């Protein structure tokens, strides 16, 4: 599918107060801003027009805008994030998406994060994780079904979100960490096992024939080079300190 737009949100000065389990230290705010700008440039290089939301000090995790919504050609579904500190992030995202798509909302107390939703063709895999519960997955699945898509669930145990460990890198082709590589749920997909010593490398984004991959994942770059698509490396070290990856920094549609 061809994407034309992306929504991003700048990190704010209190970005270091975002949720993290990474143990990689405090992010450097100036560096995060520069990396965010370079990430935006990479999206533009893939042909996307950007809506850039302002940072909001109320939400240190707000830059991880992907978690607030699922966007398809036909609809946007606003999620209900499980982390209490993130629940208020969705209002500004819903408002921005309302310019482009009919907007649906998940009803609490069910929870879901966009990072748990991976699209492959017209099918959506929904991770049941520490962030997305069965009720959230059911509501997402029902809403997607109303717009003509199919969905199924995948248990997530070892990572924050489904897409932390598996992402779509080509037509029906997944780059997957060991947790997901042999899973029956993905039996109909071609699987490229991710490089074990570069777990962050599994979180890539395919945009209009370009592959965005995290910087300093040399083995992953070599692995994906065989797909023959242009590869753009983006350094997101400051976002990785707050458990973020490439996908979570934008909503693409």
Query: Contact residues for ligand CIR (CB under 6 A)?
Result: 18-20, 61, 64, 66-67, 83, 86, 115, 160-161, 164, 242-245, 247-248
Whether 248 is catalytic is yes
CB of 249 to ligand CIR, least distance (A): 8
Structure-block tokens of residue 33: 């801003």
Q: Which of 5, 16, 36, 161 is catalytic?
A: 161
Residue 82 or 146 with smaller CB distance to ligand CIR: 82
Q: Which residue has the tokens 């809506």?
A: 51
Q: Which of 40, 75, 204, 248 is catalytic?
A: 248
Residues belonging to the chain: 253
Whether 40 is catalytic is no
Residue 136 or 244 with smaller CB distance to ligand CIR: 244
Please name every residue paired with 126 in a beta bridge, in sequence order, or none if there are none: 117, 153
CB of 160 to ligand CIR, least distance (A): 6
Chain residue at closest Cβ approach to ligand CIR: 115
Residue 26 or 146 with smaller CB distance to ligand CIR: 26
Q: How far is CA 100 from the centre of its chain?
A: 19
Backbone angles phi, psi at 218, to 5 degrees: -60, -40
DSSP of 21-87, one letter per residue?
A: -----PPPHHHHHHHHHHHHHHHHHTT-EEEEEPP-TT-TTTT-GGGGEEE-SS-EEE---SSGGGG
CB of 151 to ligand CIR, least distance (A): 18
Residue 153 or 250 with smaller CB distance to ligand CIR: 250
The rounded distance, in Å, linking the Cα atoms of 117 and 71 is 10
Residues assigned a catalytic role: 161, 248
């Amino acid at each position: 599918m061809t994407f034309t737009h992306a929504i991003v949100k700048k990190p704010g000065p209190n970005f270091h107060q975002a949720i993290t389990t990474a143990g990689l230290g405090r992010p450097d705010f100036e560096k995060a801003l520069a990396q965010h700008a370079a990430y935006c440039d990479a999206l533009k290089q893939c042909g996307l027009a950007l809506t850039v939301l302002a940072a909001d000090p109320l939400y240190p995790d707000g830059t991880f805008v992907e978690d607030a919504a699922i966007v398809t050609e036909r609809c946007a579904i606003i999620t209900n994030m499980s982390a209490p500190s993130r629940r208020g992030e969705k209002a500004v995202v819903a408002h921005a998406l309302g310019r482009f798509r009919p907007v649906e909302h998940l009803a609490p107390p069910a929870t879901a994060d966009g990072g748990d939703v991976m699209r492959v063709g017209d099918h959506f895999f929904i991770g049941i994780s520490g962030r997305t519960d069965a009720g959230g997955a059911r509501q997402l699945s029902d809403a997607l079904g109303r717009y003509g898509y199919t969905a199924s669930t995948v248990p997530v145990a070892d990572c924050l979100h489904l897409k932390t460990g598996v992402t779509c890198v080509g037509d029906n082709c997944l780059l997957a960490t060991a947790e997901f590589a042999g899973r029956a749920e993905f039996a109909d997909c071609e699987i490229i096992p991710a490089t074990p010593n570069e777990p962050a490398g599994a979180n890539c984004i395919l945009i209009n024939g370009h592959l965005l991959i995290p910087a300093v994942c040399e083995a992953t770059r070599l692995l994906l080079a065989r797909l023959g698509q242009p590869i753009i490396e983006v350094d997101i070290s400051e976002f990785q300190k707050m458990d973020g990856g490439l996908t979570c920094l934008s909503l693409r549609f």
